[in-house]
A and B are shown apart, each in its own frame.
Chain A
């Protein structure tokens, strides 16, 4: 019996056309496919756009009260990251300021600070940091190290000059140390996190939309006694590819916007060419659509897609290695991460985007993305063949 009257290409086109119709006649899907990838990148970047912490208030407990200790406090105040909020008479008072969240750190200068420097002994200053946010601690650490180095240079020069040694003999130090921060020279937070988040937004919104479409189909089938009037009778491969082609066609402009236009708009690190970016992200869109079609078999109701998919964003964010590097994960979690298209998408894209890697250098993530696309295609094909998923007819659950 010839179930499929049209030839393969015609049915592919019909599925593709019908899917477009379904997408554009569903407000919920439109929200996920268009509003989400358009709005979220902007919202997120605006949250993180100040990039670095400036003038974090600290309290100074000065037991020394000398010209030298005041100079130290002034130098701390002069850094870009720290600000001397107030002098506290003792540690108790400083503690109270910290409890009131007026300051986020306490600098305690010992009573013998000036004496130690005068005698040529090492002076020890203590900094107590609030670490509810590690970013604050990091900022204080970097700035205090700078202050420490600046003081060292200053007192060295004084000492050497007064000791009768020739300055050029030492010249500060015969070995210079130079540090280069790759990818994110300002160490700003938005520049670090946004490239990864952009890819994740595309991935998650795509899966949300695909599962919601499938939930809608399941509901139509339930209403019509196992018959979906909107489905197209087509061979399994044509059904899957037609749907995926529709999603990818929608997401290519979205990817251009999110991955190319948004970094440009906010002047985030952005080194890759538009073409490289598109060629790289193309397999991720395919793999993510295929994954969405596989997940869709668990979704029997339109809105249930939200319950199933939303929390995975956080899971995928961590699996991608953006916050917690992948080399430190156990093999099990690495394997799970390997199965998520977003992992490779995030990994490859941040290197293309921020580190200026070429497409050839990202061959491994690209290969993995195509592999995932093939694997999820096979799974989806099995689901369609065995369980009649997305077909016109399917038994009511």
Chain B
């Protein structure tokens, strides 16, 4: 048994070293993606959203509003436009992500109590800059409005602290747990980088298994393992698992070490999750290969699910808000459990007890993959290549 395993491992290792494509897929792609992602979002939050201001009033008050807008951290006034249509044109050309409109006679109407309206337009076709522009505009607009009321109130003889509590009797302060800066890199990298690794693990597994069938070398592969499909798969997948898990650890080192992404749990919780996630992805691909032992089809299915993982594993849109019939599919993906473990352990630092089922679910994938091996064995013994 042990000699067979050794023999099979040697075979698997030889095949793995035979093509540059494998090294590229297992090591270069995930590592390069991690570096790309981390470098792309190294600022964490894309502050200084380019916006414009349309000042139709040109009064002392309106100029002060424009100056205050420009001093805000979130937005950067790149242009002063003469009209609404000019500002709108800029948004449609993609030069700015919104604009702030001060109507004419604003100062006269506001100070005189005749009622004036500050309007701001945020471009929501691109969420992040749109939301940031909205926040920056709103803060400024509300402070301006509030300041004017406070002035009116004090001029009527109300003292300043009463005026303040009149303006905002209740303040709800928000505390984002774990990521108080709302850092986008921390938010996205922890799900997207492992997801690319999972995608490549799935592709590698189905490629290497079905390539044996395509090249009609699968009987040889089985012979090296003494005819046991399980040992043959171990010989093939164990070296890949080791390599990709190490790559996964490297990605985690980049995240927790280099990016200082929160790690509010003992490190081994996340290392274990990574090792199990890679194994789960491999097992997922094995199941696919058993169902369709055809190189092109199994690869297509693996890449389709691998790419869908980014959406359906709910890294951005939550599962409870999806249609139930759609949301249920997120639980057949290993990455979903890794993501839940990350949110629980690394981000929120809750006791391991609450994540127990996620680890168990990751362990289920290899176990389920063992069930249909006989079907794969049959196809490996009679390899037929369907292009």
Contact = CB atoms under 8 A, between A and B. Distances in A.
Contact of B322 (A50, A176, A183, A192): A50
Given A127-B175, A133-B316, A302-B296, A148 B118 contact: no
B332 to A, nearest CB: 14
Given A187-B124, A329-B40, A333-B40, A170 B149 contact: yes
Interface in A262-313: 269, 302-304, 306-307, 310-311, 313
Interface residues of A, number: 107
Nearest to B41: A324
Contacts of A100: 354
B172 A49 contact: no
Interface stretch (A235-243, A346-354, A377-385, A387-395): A346-354
A179 interface: yes
Given A46-B323, A176-B115, A184-B125, A133 B170 contact: no
B92 A357 contact: yes
B194 interface: no
Contacts of B350: 99
User: Interface of chain B, helix or strand or loop or mixed?
Assistant: helix
A132 B349 CA distance: 12
B187 interface: yes
Interface stretch (A86-94, A135-143, A246-254): A135-143
A356 B91 CA distance: 10
B116 A174 contact: yes
B308 interface: yes
A132 B188 CA distance: 9
Interface stretch (A4-12, A16-24, A149-157): A149-157
Contacts of B173: 124-127
A316 B292 CA distance: 30
Select the residue from B115, B127, B170, B214 with max chain A CB neighbours within 10 A: B170
A20 B322 CA distance: 40
A189 B300 contact: no
B199 interface: yes
Interface string B226-255: 000000000000000000000000000000
Interface string B275-306: 00000000000000000000110011001001
B43 interface: yes
A325 B40 contact: no
A356 B88 CA distance: 10
A47 B326 contact: yes
Contact of B165 (A72, A122, A160, A358): A122
Given A117-B169, A117-B170, A152-B170, A175 B148 contact: yes
B321 A50 contact: yes
A120 B92 contact: no
A177 B321 contact: no
Contacts of A128: 175, 177
B321 A53 contact: yes
A43 B122 CA distance: 29
Nearest to B92: A357
A352 to B, nearest CB: 9
A361 to B, nearest CB: 5
Contacts of A170: 149, 152-153
Contacts of B109: 174
A38 B230 CA distance: 38
B60 interface: no
Contacts of A306: 203, 299-300, 303
B188 A323 contact: yes
B17 interface: no
Contacts of B348: 98-99, 130, 132
Given A129-B177, A137-B176, A302-B296, A177 B141 contact: yes
Interface string A177-195: 1111111110101001001
Contact of B164 (A122, A125, A169, A183): A122
Nearest to A76: B172
B79 to A, nearest CB: 14
Contacts of B321: 50, 52-54
Given A127-B173, A132-B348, A156-B167, A347 B94 contact: yes
A190 B243 CA distance: 37
Interface residues of B, number: 118
B93 to A, nearest CB: 5
B160 interface: no
A310 B92 contact: no
Interface string B107-124: 001110111111111111
A171 B115 contact: yes
Contacts of A44: 311
Contacts of B295: 303
Contacts of A311: 29, 33, 196, 199-200
A230 to B, nearest CB: 13
A159 interface: yes
Contacts of A28: 296, 300, 387
Interface string A317-332: 0100111110111100
Contact of B148 (A98, A174, A179, A347): A174
A256 interface: no
A48 interface: yes
Select the residue from A130, A135, A160, A182 with max chain B CB neighbours within 10 A: A182
A123 B165 CA distance: 9
Contacts of B354: 99-100
Given A318-B40, A355-B91, A171 B113 contact: yes
Select the residue from B94, B109, B214 with max chain A CB neighbours within 10 A: B94
A152 B315 contact: no
Select the residue from A170, A173, A328 with max chain B CB neighbours within 10 A: A328
Given A192-B127, A325-B126, A151 B116 contact: no
B214 to A, nearest CB: 8
B120 A180 contact: yes
Given A50-B323, A53-B318, A310-B199, A155 B169 contact: yes
Interface of A: 26-28, 31, 43-44, 46-50, 52-54, 72, 98-100, 107, 117, 120-138, 140-141, 144-145, 147-148, 151-152, 155-156, 159-160, 163, 165, 169-171, 173-185, 187, 189, 192, 195, 216, 269, 302-304, 306-307, 310-311, 313-315, 318, 321-325, 327-330, 333, 347, 350-351, 354-358, 361-362, 364
10 contacts: A46-B326, A50-B321, A124-B173, A133-B314, A137-B174, A137-B182, A181-B134, A182-B121, A187-B124, A310-B203
